[in-house]
A and B are shown apart, each in its own frame.
Chain A
Amino acid sequence: MIQGSISNRIRVLRFHSGEMSQAELGQRIGVTRQTIAAIEAGKYSPSLEAAFRIAHAFNLPLDQVFQWERQKAAK
């Protein structure tokens, strides 16, 4: 299986959106502040629908909010 990890730019995007709070973003996409904190920290991967909603909240395409980086296979 191809191994990889998901990263995101939510913290930076919130900053550029007038210091939008985690609670405010959570309210806009229908999740709790704690869930936004967990997504930002990379501890929880959101569903595809929630990811699209987050991207929509910033008026950006999905791949400008979330990135998937392939891990190099160990030799």
Chain B
Amino acid sequence: MPYREKIAWLSLLAMAVTFGPYFTMTATRAVPAEPMPNLHQLGLFAATAIAQMLILGIGHLYLRRSTQDARMPLDERDQAIMRRSVSYAYYVLIAGMILVGCVMPFNSSGWSIVNAALFMIIAAEVVHYGVVVFSYRRQA
């Protein structure tokens, strides 16, 4: 498996195990009535971001040491796959930002909008790495 496909799998895994629980907890748990209501959500987000950084950092180090083609520069096919994946992810991100920035303010506020924006960024990243994996799988 090429190094860049492994990195894409790692990124998808990191998002699944960090932002998966984050969005599940955010959607299912009510915000506790505290003097500082933002603290709970900020703490959850900080823990999620730190966990993701740790998984990605350790994963990158391990893959860089264990994969032969890790130090090879991007060739033209790698670049074509990157261009394709970024362009698909861009459309998801733009659609999400239009929804979050132009539609949601009419019926939502506060953390709902913040989390929706975060969700769309993660969705765009999932599409980005998903297209990378799919492209390497089918050798395109």
Convert B110-124 into 0s and 1s, putting 1 for each residue whose CB lies closer than 8 angstroms to a CB of A: 000000000000000
Q: Which residue on chain A has the smallest CB distance to residue B2?
A: A34
In the complex, A44 has a CB within 8 A of chain B = yes
In the complex, B61 has a CB within 8 A of chain A = no
Interface size on B, residues (CB 8 A): 12
Give the docked Cα–Cα distance between A20 and B138 (Å).
Answer: 24
Q: Which residue on chain A has the smallest CB distance to residue B140?
A: A43
**Contacts A32-B2, A34-B2 given: A43-B138 contact, CB under 8 Å?**
yes
- Cross-chain contact of A47 among B72, B76, B136 (Cβ < 8 A): B76
Minimum C-beta distance from B60 to chain A (A)? 19
Give the contacts of B60-77 with A (CB-CB under 8 A).
Answer: 69, 72, 75-77
Contact B140 A44, beta carbon cutoff 8 Å: yes
Q: Which residue on chain A has the smallest CB distance to residue B76?
A: A47
Contacts of A30 in B (CB 8 A): 75
Convert A25-65 into 0s and 1s, putting 1 for each residue whose CB lies closer than 8 angstroms to a CB of B: 00000111111011001011011001000000000000000
Contact B76 A31, beta carbon cutoff 8 Å: yes
Query: Could you show 25 A-B contacts with beta carbons less than 8 Å apart?
Result: A30-B75, A31-B75, A31-B77, A32-B2, A32-B69, A32-B72, A32-B75, A32-B77, A33-B69, A34-B2, A35-B75, A35-B76, A35-B78, A37-B139, A38-B139, A38-B140, A41-B139, A43-B139, A43-B140, A44-B77, A44-B139, A44-B140, A46-B76, A46-B77, A50-B76
Report which B residues bind A (CB closer than 8 A): 2, 69, 72, 75-78, 80, 136, 138-140
Report which A residues bind B (CB closer than 8 A): 30-35, 37-38, 41, 43-44, 46-47, 50
Q: Kindly list 5 other residue pairs between chains A and B, CB separation below 8 angstroms, not including A32-B78, A37-B139, A43-B138.
A: A31-B76, A31-B77, A33-B69, A34-B77, A43-B140
